[in-house]
Amino acid sequence: MPIEFPNQLTAQTTPIPGVVLFDLPVHGDNRGWFKENWQREKMLALGLPDFRPVQNNISFNAKAGTTRGIHAEPWDKFVSVGAGRVFGAWVDLREGPSFGAVFTAELDPGRAIFIPRGVGNAFQTLEDNTLYTYLVNDHWSADAQHRYTFLNLADETAAIAWPVPLERAELSEQDKAHPRLADVAPMPPKKTLVLGADGQLGTALRALYDGDPTVEFAGRADFDLADEASFASRNWRDYRTVINAAAYTAVDDAETPEGRTAAWGINVTAATRLARAAVEHGLTLVQVSSDYVFDGSRQVHGEDEPPSPLGVYGQTKAAADAVVGVVPRHYIVRTSWVVGEGNNFVRTMAGLAARGIRPAVVNDQTGRLSFAADIAAGIRHLLDTAAPYGTYNLSNDGEPRTWADIAGEVYELSGRPGADVQGVSTAEYFAGRKAAPRPANSTLDLRKLAERGFRPPAAGARLREYLDGPG
């Protein structure tokens, strides 16, 4: 006679966020049965995260009543039954509002469950000779248990109704000694790593995420992008997101032999290593791009415009965009004319104004300023709202202006006449000097980001606030 099991793959959510229960089609006859135990494409369509399993474990239990748990592990797992039946109990032990939520269900060969990192799981066998198997997305190691979170099987708050009372069940001494819920330290979420944390954008990200223990910052002394060992020594499984705010930005020096090597090393080789880590560990990678990937022949640049870099710096940023674009979970944030804390064009002009100097400033390059605080806010918006992955232009809004126009406004805001700034062409400004070619038009189309709910302030308003601020 055929064995009665589900004949259609279905999924159902549970009271614990991220825990998904699956009914698996099992095809049986007088010889036994067959099932697709884990099918990535079909299960992704039903809501299973693409958790990228790397290890398969099997637990065999000779006696009914064998009970294991409650263990919250630092990885995701997909649990299914090969033979027999088990009673499963899951308790959310992650930081957050669902901490302590409980879900129970019976598993047999026709039912499986996905358990996210940090959700405590326990199993009690209901038949002799029960076998269950689980896929996990990290390799077990001897020190891995130091990162577990445990809950006592008999916790009164969870109040799990075990089919076989615990006093008659088979338990390990370790499981008997686990703490009650009131004494459990919740498992913290995976972290965000900000690289280039000492630069203008990195400093803005530090200020934006100040006090958030889930965000880790690494400057050059903490993470050397030029050293492959920095990538190999990092436990990427501890992170969910990497924001690469580091870059070689000396556009003129990049045209020299030494600068070309350095620019390709930081902007491309390091980005490639980050992309590899993101693919291997399922990370979200945020890569900051530049208007220099374009030649400036168009008045406004959209996200889909093919790259056409003029110089080495632009070539390296375009190459990095191409590499990061193959990462399944990526945001390429393209910006222009960045202004943050530290040395930048606005600070230089303000300093010249204070000294009464009448500078010559380029008047045939057009674009918008991008204040680092607003770039940081835009990046956070993309991450917090889980915006569709891809490329987003991000500068401040407002009427595009030339460098000379901006310099004149800085002078006026500093109490000097804007007419003190002399507008000159790019060719005149760099006459007799070696310089990288620059795009004549750097204005970025901001509509895609606006459609995702983020509208950066006008550059003019931000300029006034910036000059009124400290420093």
| Beta strands in 158-205, from DSSP E residues, in sequence order | 191-195
Sheet holding 111-115, edge to edge: 10-13, 20-23, 111-115, 77-83, 130-136, 55-61
Q: Which two tokens stand for residue 98?
A: 């669902």
Q: What single-letter DSSP state applies at residue 66?
A: B
Look up tokens 């009650």; give the residue: 180
The reply to whether 71 belongs to the active site is yes
- Residue among 132, 134, 292, 313 flagged as catalytic: 134
Of 83, 79, 81, 85, nearest in space to 127 by CA: 85
C-alpha torsion sign, points 26, 160, 148, 243: positive
CA distances from 457 to 34, 446, 460 (A): 59, 11, 9
Residue environment code for 238-275, b if the CB has 16+ CB neighbours within 10 A, otherwise e = ebbbbbbbbbbbebbbbbeeebbebbbebbbbbbebbb
To the nearest 10°, report the CA torsion of 102, 108, 111, 115.
40
Assign 217 to helix, strand or coil.
strand
In angstroms, what CA-CA distances link 320 with 198, 252, 257, 290? 21, 19, 20, 11
Residue in 296, 268, 300 with CA at minimum distance from that of residue 444 = 300
What residues contact 306, with CB distance under 8 A and at least 6 apart?
none
SS3 439: coil
Among 71, 178, 281, 301, the one annotated catalytic: 71
- CA pair distance 5, 19, nearest whole angstrom: 22
Q: What is the DSSP string of 230-288?
A: HHHTS-GGGEEEEEE------TTGGGSHHHHHHHHIIIIIHHHHHHHHHHHHT-EEEEE
Q: Closest by alpha carbon to 124, among 180, 61, 37? A: 61
Active site residues: 71, 134
